[in-house]
Amino acid sequence: MTKNILMVVTNVDYFGDGKTRTGLWFEEFAVPYVTFLENGYHVSVASLAGGEVLLDPQSENFINDIKWHDAKKALDNTEKLQNFDINMYDAIVFPGGHGPMFDIAESELVGEIVSDFYNNGKLIAAVCHGPAGLLMAKKDDGDYVVSGKRITCFTNEEEEFYKKTELLPFSLEDALKDRHAIFEKQGVGEINVIVDGNIITGQNYQSSETFAGTIVQYFEEKSGF
């Protein structure tokens, strides 16, 4: 049976200074998107504001843009997240780029949807800064979804390495720890994907391929294949 995947991406294309470009990190979207299609999944792409989603220019690459043509086309005119029937989906996936730190992280709608997915045992997956989408979600008992869960994301060391710390509204690593996540990390740029129950997180864009494969493996194991 095919799986229905809802990918939620950022609409933000500048840091808070209004001068420095950011956006969706293309690899973190394109690799899972293509992998899902290759495995026969149905994929919908949503953003909070809808419309065209812009890429972090540092993530664009001429060769990959050709290889991931269909993924790029899917970002031309995204549907607003509020218009989706979330009951139709088996998983919600948050790619990164720094953009989610400014819109997805503070969205009550995202918090409500992720809470629903978690409390109904459906898959939640996020890579790099995508785990910002988990921050507002809560369990049925009122505790944060990430509390007591093994989680990773783009680390404080990686922010420093790429000289982005001062441009951010907060530290994602610290915010997850503040919600009592069991934070697990590897070195700068090292592949790291963590599975804890129905939550899968990846540390950075270098983890995109492993992250996508882990989601496929999750569904295969659930289906008994």
**Which has the closest alpha carbon to 59: 91, 93, 13, 92?**
13
If 0-12 CB within 10 Å is exposed, 13-18 middle and 19+ buried, where does residue 216 land?
middle
At 22 the pLDDT is: 97
Taking CB atoms within 8 Å and a gap of at least 24, the contacts of 59-65 are 59/23, 59/24, 59/25, 59/26, 59/27, 59/28, 59/97, 59/205, 60/26, 61/26, 64/26, 64/27, 64/30, 65/26
CB-based contact 44:82 (threshold 8 Å): no
**pTM summary value:** 0.97
Q: How far apart are CA 115 and CA 118, in angstroms?
A: 5
Q: Where are the chain's structural domains?
A: 4-223
What single string gives the DSSP state of each residue in 85-104?
Answer: -GGG-SEEEE--SSGGGTTG
Report in angstroms the alpha-carbon separations of 20 from 56, 72, 107, 135.
10, 22, 22, 25
Binning the chain into helix, strand and coil, the percentages to the nearest 5 are 40, 20, 40
If 0-12 CB within 10 Å is exposed, 13-18 middle and 19+ buried, where does residue 167 land?
middle
Q: How far apart are CA 65 and CA 49, in angstroms?
A: 24
pLDDT in tens, the chain (225 residues): 799 999 999 999 999 999 999 999 999 999 999 999 999 999 999 999 999 999 999 998 877 778 899 999 999 999 999 999 999 999 999 999 999 999 999 999 999 999 999 999 999 999 999 999 999 999 999 999 999 999 999 999 999 999 999 999 999 999 999 999 999 999 999 999 999 999 999 999 999 999 999 999 999 998 865
Assigned CATH topology for domain 4-223: Rossmann fold (3.40.50)
